[in-house]
Amino acid sequence: MNEELSQDEIHDRLFQLLVKINDIFKQHNITFFLSFGTLLGAVRHKDFIPWDDDLDIHIPEESFSEAMELLKAKLGNECAIVDQSSQQITWDIDTRLTDKKTLIYDESGQSYEHGLFIDFFKMKKINKFNRLNYSILKIMDNKINFASYKITKFIFILIKLLNKMVYLSIERLSINKSLVISDRILGGIYEYEEVFPLMLVSFRYDSFHAPKNADEILREQYDNYMNIPNPENRVKHISKCIWSDR
């Protein structure tokens, strides 16, 4: 097959997967909402950002494992589920769903050995004073998984253990918890009442959930997010996508 997908076809395929995910999660009462560039696209374009080539979804931590098991069971024939331990993805992404029916390439023309993807992020409840510690723990987990040398791995493990002691001490003393909705080291921390109840936003031919404070979140992440960036500032993750015959 190996036919290259146009940008519209990339969006069509990702939207097909999003609709399937939405149906699965609705059937099993799993809460999720659009986030990052996908949320920006929904608010600004009521669709994908025209040059975007992935999807971003947040799920509350308490439902995350169940949600991933459901996706494995229901979409296993056409998608694969990978995480920090099985694929070198950036530290902020908890799990990535990759499409078996497509194959993507980077800017150098090198195949990624997987297809279009949807990134899933845990919405974590933490004490707001633990914000930096939480990011450090995630970064250390990522570095430990892919450290090339034993001594380097040992250093990362030591940093993680020391940081975790501080993190757990603060959490044990915490009564009030805030929600982390961010792909950055700091910021993106909100009160429950700011995020819930979720609202519906139009996205393509359907509606999906978004945080109640979507405007605040997008302003923190992208500043004047309704302004369309110049071509040189438009971020893409891939250079080419083809249909796969795997």
Phi-psi region of 64 (alpha: psi -120 to 50; beta: other; left: phi over 0): alpha
Asked whether the CA dihedral 165, 192, 180, 17 is positive or negative, the reply is positive
Per the DSSP assignment, residues forming a β-bridge with 110 are none
Stretch among 8-12, 64-68, 104-108 having the lowest mean pLDDT: 104-108
Stretch among 37-41, 47-51, 152-156 having the lowest mean pLDDT: 152-156
Three-class SS state of 209: strand
- Nearest-angstrom CA–CA distance, 108 and 57: 28
- C-alpha distances in angstroms, 22 versus 26, 30, 32, 190? 6, 9, 9, 25
- Nearest-angstrom CA–CA distance, 228 and 210: 21
Inter-helix orientation angle 36-45/214-222, to 10°: 110
Q: Are 241 and 115 in contact (CB under 8 A)?
A: yes
Who wins on pLDDT, 92 or 2?
92
The full set of domain ranges for the chain reads 7-123+190-243, 128-173
State the pTM of this model.
0.93
Mean pLDDT along residues 205-212: 97
| Mean per-residue pLDDT of the chain | 93
- pLDDT above 80 (res 40): yes
Pick from 168, 190, 170: nearest CA to 179: 190
Q: For 212-232, how does the pLDDT look when each residue is reduced to its tens digit (9 = 90+)?
A: 999 999 999 999 999 999 998
- pLDDT above 70 (res 62): yes
- Cβ atoms within 10 Å, residue 123: 22
- Nearest-angstrom CA–CA distance, 144 and 27: 37
Q: Are 175 and 168 in contact (CB under 8 A)?
A: no
Q: For 121-156, how does the pLDDT look when each residue is reduced to its tens digit (9 = 90+)?
A: 999 999 999 999 999 999 999 999 888 888 999 999
Q: Which architecture characterizes domain 7-123+190-243 according to CATH?
A: 2-Layer Sandwich (3.30)
What would the two tokens of residue 244 be? 């796969």
- Nearest-angstrom CA–CA distance, 235 and 239: 11
- Nearest-angstrom CA–CA distance, 18 and 163: 36
